[in-house]
Amino acid sequence: MENVVLVFKKGKKDDSGLYRPVSLPAVAGKIMEKIILEVTEKNLKASADKVFHPADQGKPGDEIFFDLGKAFDTVSPNILLDKMSSTQLDKHIM
C-alpha cells in the first residue's frame, strides 16, 4: 500500500486548492518495481537482438512495441480519497 501525502504549493495555507497529492511508495513496492524493471529491460533487449540482428542482415522480422511509461505511475483513487478524508481539507474538494 502506498502512502499519499498532501504537499502545499504556495499561497494561503488555509486554501485547500493549493495542496497536491503526492504518492510515497512503500519500500517493498520500490524494490519490486526495480526488479520488474530490470527483468523487463533484459527481456526486451534480448527480444530486440532477435529482431534487429536478422534485419541488419536484410532478413524480414517482426516487431512488438510496449509503452510501459505509466505502468508504475499510478495511485489508487480509493487510497487517495482515504488519505484526503483524514486531513482537514474542505469536503467539497473530494
Q: Are 79 and 1 in contact (CB under 8 A)?
A: yes
pLDDT tens digits, 33-61: 889 999 989 988 888 777 677 767 777 76
pLDDT at residue 38, rounded to an integer: 92
- pLDDT higher than 80, residue 94: no
**Residue 78 CB: number of other CB atoms within 10 A?**
8
Write the burial class of residue 80 (CB in 10 Å: 0-12 exposed, 13-18 middle, 19+ buried). Answer: middle
For cell 512488438, name the residue. Answer: 64
- What's residue 47's pLDDT? 80
Span 20-28, average pLDDT? 77
Q: Which residue has the higher pLDDT, 53 or 2?
A: 53
pLDDT at 91: 59
